[in-house]
Amino acid sequence: MLFNILLKIFLIGNLNMVAPPARYQVSAIPEELTRNADAVLRQDELVFTVKDQRNATQKVHYAITILNKNAASYSTLAIPYDKFTKVTNIKGTLYNKDGLIIKHLKNNEIQDIGGISGTSLIEDTRVKAAQFTNASYPVTVEFEYEINSSGLLFYPTWHPQSDYRLAVEQSSFQVNIPAGQVLRYKPVNCPEPEKYKAEKADTYSWTIKQVKAKEKMPWQPSLSELTAKVYTAPTTFEIDGFSGNMTTWKDFGLWVNKLNKDRDKLPEPTIAKLKALTASAPDDQSKVQILYQYLQDNTRYVSIQLGIGGWRPFEASFVDSKGYGDCKALSNYMGAMLRAVGINSFYTLITGGQDEPDLQKDFPSMQFNHVVLCVPLKQDTIWLECTSQTEAMGYGGSFTGNRHALLITPEGGKIVKTPVYSGKDNTVSRKAKIRLESDGNANAELETIYSGLEQDEPAMVSAAGAPDQQAWFYQNVRLSNYSIKHLQYSRTKERIPKVTEKATLIINKCGVTSSKRMFITPNLFNKNTFVFPEDNNRSQDIIQDYASFSSDTLVFALPAGGFHPESLPEQQFIKSAFGEYTSLVKFDGKQLIYIRTLKTEKGRYPGTLYNELREFYHKITAADKAQIVLVSKS
């Protein structure tokens, strides 16, 4: 009798210990979602609940199937937080391809890492981080956590398909906001939200399902423009006791003015020094140049991000005495120095970065990560990057050029456009002298001048050490067999800056010999090698980011032995909506001269022109391969 009772207890206990059912089986993913995908977002839920203008909670839960090692980064969780946010309830689970649990994330596997960046001295940003490691794929990772905010300068942006080759099985976004409070939102590539009203709260929700992965294609719009996204932002907000309104850009600018109030005061001895420095300057532009150089010589970029200091500049007097500050502090300091000598300027919020999407001009919100200074003069407007000790005055380049920014005026915020650099600004001009030997080897001396956007990368190279300079040169000049005998870089700091590159090369088999003939491909340094993939159904617009002009003039001194041209390539002129190409080889009786030019136009073109774009560059590639045939009389 006792045995039967114990047996029943054992069996009931085992029933309660049955393994949980399988979840997120890879076999359950629709085939069309795995096509061209490295990962599939199986389930994604973001719930944002606003309590008042200062406090909110954000609950995140998602599961993503990693199909191969290209998507291995999805197995890592990293959640930044600071004085105004608290991260709680972190959970994680790793599943095998059959949807069975491999392991749960343990509390001692969650790291709390200081967020000190390479340019920061002190900051209170930290990161909660965790990672699953696995030796084989596919696997599924599931994470969930909660963020409590006590300062609401931002509301979340929902962007479930945030990368190429990522498919979405299901994703939802829900915002709960106190009844009567206005939620500001902007949907992109998705419909208006479903709305529910209750006694104490209003709910807005969006859902997408069964979205195929997108492949990255040449010259296409940004992923933000092609995929579903919802921007949200507060109307009224408060952070660290500073309340504001961002219904309009004007209102938001007034809040920034409140943060910056009385932080532009300089000590009297400093004011006297600045006036003395600029006393002999013939005009305001010269004064700006003198003070900008003074800023570069006497300060350096160091970020101190503590509390409201992440949004508010340190006082100009602090920078004056310490000699350092972040973009906010240095821009505020430069503005204070200009004001001391009677020149007005505007603190300006902007998004810095080469590939950053432009401002959502019709949706006032905190979309910025950088500050610059705008100096409007009678004849010109000068934009100053105050964090660089080497940049040319007035040049923003690919970091802050050609985008919208928020000018902070006494009357509030005003949207403006930073300079757009033309094809006349963005140039590469190369001249080379090549001395050919009878065995096909050659010595070459070349000078290349890069300007405007084309010099942005060479400018960084020019400031690097010799090994890095040579590595960059070898990467960009892809001759089959050559060595660098001499390499030198110099930079000219003008409104449109230039970098000059001088090199001496020893080129093995510059020409290929066969009996009495030598075959030379005259375009040694600037061949087009990119092949546009075939795409007869291109639907996305074609984006050419900026205009440019390149020219190559190569002069070949012929080898001894009576070599003369037997065959020269035909002159080429190739034109399309995207630009113009020319190439020409001529012989003046002693030397061969090869001239190549390529002009491209900035613009946005319909996807139906993709085959024209592809054909344009296909013809250029062919022209760049054209050969000269030399024959020897001896």
Is the model's pLDDT at 238 over the cut of 70? yes
Could you state, in order of their start, the residue ranges of all structural domains in the chain? 26-234, 246-417, 427-632
Is the model's pLDDT at 309 over the cut of 60? no
What are the structure tokens assigned to 236, written together? 């009224």
**Interatomic CA distance for residues 152 and 284, integer angstroms:** 41
- Would you say the C-alpha torsion 550, 555, 559, 562 has a positive or negative sign? positive
Quickly state the pLDDT bin for 370 (edges 50, 70, 90). Answer: very high
Q: In this predicted structure, what is the pLDDT of residue 379?
A: 87
Q: In this predicted structure, what is the pLDDT of residue 83?
A: 84
Residues 232 and 364 sit within 8 Å (Cβ to Cβ) = no
Q: In this predicted structure, what is the pLDDT of residue 16?
A: 47
What are the structure tokens assigned to 63, written together? 């599961």
CATH tag for 246-417 (out of 1.20.140.10, 3.40.50.1240, 3.30.450.20, 3.10.620.30): 3.10.620.30
Quickly state the pLDDT bin for 189 (edges 50, 70, 90). Answer: very high
Residues 434 and 557 sit within 8 Å (Cβ to Cβ) = yes
CATH tag for 26-234 (out of 2.60.40.3140, 3.40.50.720, 3.40.190.10, 1.10.540.10): 2.60.40.3140
What's the chain's average pLDDT? 92
Q: In this predicted structure, what is the pLDDT of residue 18?
A: 54
SS3 (DSSP) at 497: coil
Query: What's the average model confidence in pLDDT over 417-436?
Result: 97
Query: What's the average model confidence in pLDDT over 129-134?
Result: 92
Q: How far is CA 616 from CA 63, 195, 599, 629, in A?
A: 44, 50, 12, 26
Query: What's the average model confidence in pLDDT over 261-281?
Result: 97
Q: In this predicted structure, what is the pLDDT of residue 86?
A: 94
Report helix, strand and coil shares of the chain as percent, to nearest 5.
Answer: 20, 40, 40
> Dihedral through CA 513, CA 514, CA 515, CA 518, nearest 10?
-40
Q: In the CATH scheme, what architecture does the domain 427-632 have?
A: Sandwich (2.60)
**Interatomic CA distance for residues 446 and 103, integer angstroms:** 60
Q: In this predicted structure, what is the pLDDT of residue 478?
A: 86
Quickly state the pLDDT bin for 538 (edges 50, 70, 90). Answer: very high
In this predicted model, what pLDDT tens digit does every residue of 320-336 receive, in sequence order? 999 999 999 999 999 99
Amino acid at 567: S
End-to-end Cα spacing for the chain? 116
Q: In this predicted structure, what is the pLDDT of residue 2?
A: 44
Is the model's pLDDT at 405 over the cut of 80? yes
Q: In this predicted structure, what is the pLDDT of residue 427?
A: 98
| Residues belonging to the chain | 634
Is the model's pLDDT at 439 over the cut of 90? yes
Question: Rounded to the nearest 5°, which phi and psi values hold at 403?
Answer: -160, 170
**Interatomic CA distance for residues 201 and 236, integer angstroms:** 17
DSSP letters of 334-352?
A: HHHHHHHTT---EEEEE--
Residues 385 and 372 sit within 8 Å (Cβ to Cβ) = yes
Q: In this predicted structure, what is the pLDDT of residue 122?
A: 53
Quickly state the pLDDT bin for 1 (edges 50, 70, 90). Answer: very low
Query: What's the average model confidence in pLDDT over 389-418?
Result: 96
Question: Rounded to the nearest 5°, which phi and psi values hold at 306?
Answer: -125, 120
Give strand ranges (E) for 508-587: 511-514, 517-520, 542-544, 548-557, 563-567, 572-576, 579-587
Burial of 239 (0-12, 13-18, 19+ CB in 10 A): buried
Q: In this predicted structure, what is the pLDDT of residue 123?
A: 58
Query: What's the average model confidence in pLDDT over 350-357?
Result: 90
Paired residues of 380 in beta bridges: none
Q: In this predicted structure, what is the pLDDT of residue 307?
A: 45
SS3 (DSSP) at 607: helix
Query: What's the average model confidence in pLDDT over 577-585?
Result: 97
Query: What's the average model confidence in pLDDT over 536-546?
Result: 93
